[in-house]
Structure 1
Amino acid sequence: MPASATASAESEAALGEFTHRQILKVMSVLLVSLFVACISGTVISTALPTIVGDLGGQDQLAWVASAGLLTTTASTPLWGKLSDLYGRKRLFRLALIVFAVSSALAGLSQTMGQLIAARAAQGVGVGGITALTQAIMADVTTPRTRGRYSGWIGSAFGVATVAGPLIGGFLVGSDALGWRWTFYVGIPFAIAALVMVERVLKLPYVRRTVHVDYLGAALISGAVTAVLLALSLGGQKWAWNSGTTYTLAALFVVLGAGAVWQEHRAVQPILPPHLFHSRTFNLAGAGSFFVGFSMYGAMIYLPQYLQIVRGMSPTRSGLMTLPMVLGMLSASIVSGRLITRFGRWKVFPLIGLPLIALGMFLLSGMDVGTPLPFAGLHMLVLGVGLGLSNQVLVLAIQNGADPDDIGIATSAASFFRSMGGAVGVAVLGAVLSARLDSGIPALMRERDVAPPNGTDLGDLLGSPSAIQALDAPLRDAVIDGFTQGLHTVFVVGAPVTLIGFLAVLAIRESVLRDGDDGDDAAAEPADGEPSPTADRAKAGTPG
């Protein structure tokens, strides 16, 4: 028997032998790690105005927020592929170390440039943690029982979503701590996770002949970076109709074409082309993209409504998002248990994605006078939709993947969702900026209100506390302009989400397997397509 075939057989034999108690121990490691990775992106939201005031560089604020998301998205496929080659535990440990060291460097930063560089490095660690969490869960569970545990992954994300702003508000407001502790706070959790990894995480490791596709990784990362830079900073740092935008677009096309060429010729590509031969992979990936578009868009712009339009403190605005988090948590757990019981998954995103669109539409109608219980109900609808869709689509991609591709298929699912989030934040941010640029001056002219001499629109759009401190007529014009802008943001997000619904609707569902990943792939391939395992068996080539 060929060595590679033997390795594959050993890998399959080693998987699926975990008891419920053993899986719970592994899940404890994953949940702690995922929580600290997710909270790193939300804890700084309340600290950014203070950070800018301390380090200076208001024009670089967008880089602090987007640097981590950019590197997380670009590095995700590489983490998944390297874990397939070198083993999950080794790469998971490395991701935690990168996260801890970069968090310390971010807290020690003395300039905005240092902080942006540290945030970019932190995003690389976050990319590894989030991608490998899903891949390790796939190693220790079967596709059908995985639904039982996937809800917990969603709960860790939900708790981090609401806990981040609360912790950040407390740290920034503390005289003894300050904004630097928004970065330091994750380090003890990362160290604890490293200790738990050594004691708990006992995963099978099969030695393989390794051919790392460094050129493919560089081309994919470069293409992603080019498009995210264009979408994140276009219309803000430079005009959309500018040489910079066209240069980044050309770079994306050239590097993207080079990546496709390289992935077809590489011995072990970062994104294996045969993954895209699966109907489920393509359509579920598209669904994940649009879930990410709405999820990250809501997470970024809901606080704008709560803090600027409603005048809430950062801590209170975090508490106000509890209905969304509870909806996400409960829907993730319930759907996971039902998937485990019945082996069917498609119905959940088919319900969830329209609920996301409905939630976005309901949010678009909120203004300064919306009763808080109604606002909470709108957020609850959105959260339930996210809980029914987010983790389930990852599960669908894993179910159709070949055993040797679980790591890269899982990280690809995270990649699609992160890309959707990056595009969503960028597109909706451009929509909001355009509406503010036109809407607020129009309201001031209509109400015969003028800003103080030497003050432009950018000066009026400061922190929430600065906006609340404006003279009443001017403050009302700014807040009403924000309300109109956020209305447009959520109106745009609603129909975009429905594109994801159409993608999921086109998937031909297969019952989730009871055995290990790939055990019966040839007997019951996803979507009625030939599985990679079956194809290789027919061709007489090793898996």
Structure 2
Amino acid sequence: MVLTLLLLSVLLALQFGGGNTYSWDSATVIGLFCGAGVNAIIFIFWERKMGEQAMLSGPILRQRVIWTGSLFGMCIMGSMIVTSNWLPTYFQAVKGEGPTMSGVHVLPSILSQVFLAVGSGAAVSRFGYYLPWASASAAVTAIGNGLLSTLTASTSTAAWIGYQIVVGSGRGAGMQMGLIAVQNAVQPSQVPVAIAMIIFAQNLGTSIFIVIANTVFSQTLTSSLPRYAPSVSGQAALDAGSGAGAVRNLVIGHEEELDGVLRSYSDSLRNIFYFLVGLAGLALFLSTGMGWKDVRKTPKGKVTEDALTEEESVPEKGEV
């Protein structure tokens, strides 16, 4: 209950402030943030009191691989969901495509993501190490989101397809790495709890990152429209949504300002992808704490090289 109130307060504060429902310095938004802080303190003390029966087990959560793997998974999953949510907006609002074609146009990122998710999982099973894939995933995802931030109304088809392949490959390469790291960092009896933690982190991060992205978009759009399309109000643009027809109806009677409206939408999406670049950069930093560990299972009866070395170092009976 306390955690629910905490999350609800944070999300409502971001939604109200970012959506221009209330100003950031209003009593409502400030009160929600203060309420979230109080609930956070209560939740921390309650979890400490519950000990091993806590929802977020302290002894498990304090392990470096657990919290870095969970946060890494949060960043990668958040990047995936936010990008999937806002790329169709680019194709509809900026490119003028319908809902069906905007769905078709995001297939390059989806297919490359699926391919790399399967390929990276197989590679870890074969070679045993997940850390290179986690770090490469974060780096490529950052590069891909940086490329997506350059999208404009004049971006060529080859360019936006290539950009999506890059970002989809990055996300796919790291999707499973947090789970793999967490599962191999705890005892078998603790695996369900550890997996629950990382899934909780992913869902929590996704909820927060989507609200932040909405806030970035709405704030940028309402501030850029007066510069590029003075006759269009920011609130009217927010109310219109991202449909191709609705966006273009905003300039009826002022058709010469259409390019300015499209630029405002492009700038708003650009700032979202900047945010995702930072998120991927954080994932790259977190990946360094996930540990360098060979997760391949040793067949029964097979002596590993380390074990063989230890055996050879023990003197035989009677040997000095």
TM-score by length of 2: 0.85
Distance 1:381 1:314 in 2: 23
Distance 2:92 2:118 in 1: 30
Deviation at 1:513, TM superposition (A): 5.4
Deviation at 1:475, TM superposition (A): 2.8
1:423 aligns with 2:208: yes
* Aligned position for 1:279: 64
Which runs of structure 2 are paired with 1:201-280 in the superposition (5 Å)? 218-236=1-19, 237-266=21-50, 268-280=53-65
Distance 2:295 2:16 in 1: 42
* Aligned position for 1:412: 197
Deviations 1:159-178 (A, max 9, x none): xxxxxxxxxxxxxxxxxxxx
Q: Which amino acid in the other structure matches residue 172 of structure 2?
A: G
1:458 aligns with 2:235: yes
Deviation at 1:488, TM superposition (A): 2.0
Q: Which amino acid in the other structure matches residue 264 of structure 2?
A: G
Q: Is the CA contact (8 Å cut-off) linking 1:289 and 1:418 kept in structure 2? A: yes
Q: Label 1:314 to 1:243 Cα distance change in 2 as closer, same or farther (>3 A).
A: same
Q: Which amino acid in the other structure matches residue 343 of structure 1?
A: G
CA RMSD for the aligned pairs?
Answer: 1.9
1:324 aligns with 2:109: yes
Unaligned 5+ residue runs, structure 2? 299-320
Q: Is the CA contact (8 Å cut-off) linking 1:232 and 1:422 kept in structure 2? A: no
Aligned residue among 259, 272, 275 for 1:489:
272
Distance 1:411 1:269 in 2: 13
Q: Is the CA contact (8 Å cut-off) linking 2:23 and 2:29 kept in structure 1? A: yes
Aligned residue among 251, 260, 264 for 1:477:
260
Aligned residue among 165, 172, 179 for 1:387:
172
Q: Secondary structure at the match of 1:234?
A: helix
Q: Is the CA contact (8 Å cut-off) linking 2:138 and 2:171 kept in structure 1? A: yes
Deviation at 1:278, TM superposition (A): 0.7
Deviations 1:197-240 (A, max 9, x none): xxxxxxxxxxxxxxxxxxxxx22222222222222332223222
Q: Is the CA contact (8 Å cut-off) linking 1:290 and 1:496 kept in structure 2? A: yes
Deviation at 1:314, TM superposition (A): 0.6
Deviations 1:129-164 (A, max 9, x none): xxxxxxxxxxxxxxxxxxxxxxxxxxxxxxxxxxxx
Question: Which aligned segments of 4 or more residues in structure 1 are displaced greater than 4 angstroms?
Answer: none
Q: Secondary structure at the match of 2:176?
A: helix
Aligned residue among 289, 299, 309 for 1:506:
289
Q: Is the CA contact (8 Å cut-off) linking 2:16 and 2:29 kept in structure 1? A: no
Q: Which moved more, 1:268-277 or 1:486-495?
A: 486-495
Q: Secondary structure at the match of 1:408?
A: helix
Q: Which amino acid in the other structure matches residue 259 of structure 1?
A: F
Deviations 1:412-434 (A, max 9, x none): 11222222222222222222212
Distance 1:395 1:239 in 2: 43
Distance 1:398 1:413 in 2: 10
Q: Label 1:280 to 1:432 Cα distance change in 2 as closer, same or farther (>3 A).
A: same
* Aligned position for 1:444: 229
Distance 1:275 1:224 in 2: 22
Distance 2:90 2:24 in 1: 26
Deviations 1:397-419 (A, max 9, x none): 12213333322221211222222
Q: Is the CA contact (8 Å cut-off) linking 1:354 and 1:385 kept in structure 2? A: yes
* Aligned position for 2:312: none
* Identical columns (%): 23
Unaligned 5+ residue runs, structure 1? 1-217, 516-543
Deviations 1:97-117 (A, max 9, x none): xxxxxxxxxxxxxxxxxxxxx
* Aligned position for 2:304: none
Q: Secondary structure at the match of 1:324?
A: helix
Q: Secondary structure at the match of 1:506?
A: coil
Q: Bigger relative contact order, structure 1 or 2, given CA contacts below 8 A and separation 6+?
A: 2
Q: Secondary structure at the match of 1:281?
A: helix
Q: Label 1:233 to 1:409 Cα distance change in 2 as closer, same or farther (>3 A).
A: farther
Deviation at 1:288, TM superposition (A): 1.6
Which runs of structure 2 are paired with 1:79-98 in the superposition (5 Å)? none
1:311 aligns with 2:91: no
Q: Is the CA contact (8 Å cut-off) linking 2:2 and 2:39 kept in structure 1? A: yes
